[in-house]
Amino acid sequence: MWRNLFILKNFLMLIKSLIKEIKQIFIDIIHIFQEYQLIEKEGLLILNRSPINIYDLNTYNISDGIILYEKITTNLFLIDKV
């Protein structure tokens, strides 16, 4: 019985570690999107509806949910052609 609990505990620790790693990868991808100016630097934490700089995101507060805003730019060259 103790052996089964030990195995389960190690399995759960592994899962928790993998989840944290996946969250960090997601945050890294958000930073890449911002570097390419695809999203705004400010997002919104869903839990308390407070603005947050994407560089302040971590594996704890990302779990609260976040809204990211797409950066929309208008190309004046295209507007003239329409």
Phi then psi for residue 20, to 5 deg, are -65, -40
Q: What is the pLDDT of residue 28?
A: 98
Per-10-residue mean pLDDT for the chain, 82 residues long? 85 95 97 94 94 96 94 66 50
pTM attached to this predicted model: 0.79
Q: Say if CB 40 and CB 71 are below 8 A apart.
A: yes
Report residue 54 as tokens: 């994407």
Residue ranges of domains in the chain: 2-81
- The pLDDT value recorded for residue 82 is 47
Give a three-class secondary structure readout of the chain: CHHHHHHHHHHHHHHHHHHHHHHHHHHHHHHHHHHCCCECCEEEECCCCEEEEHHHCCCCHHHHCEECCECCCCCHHHHHHC
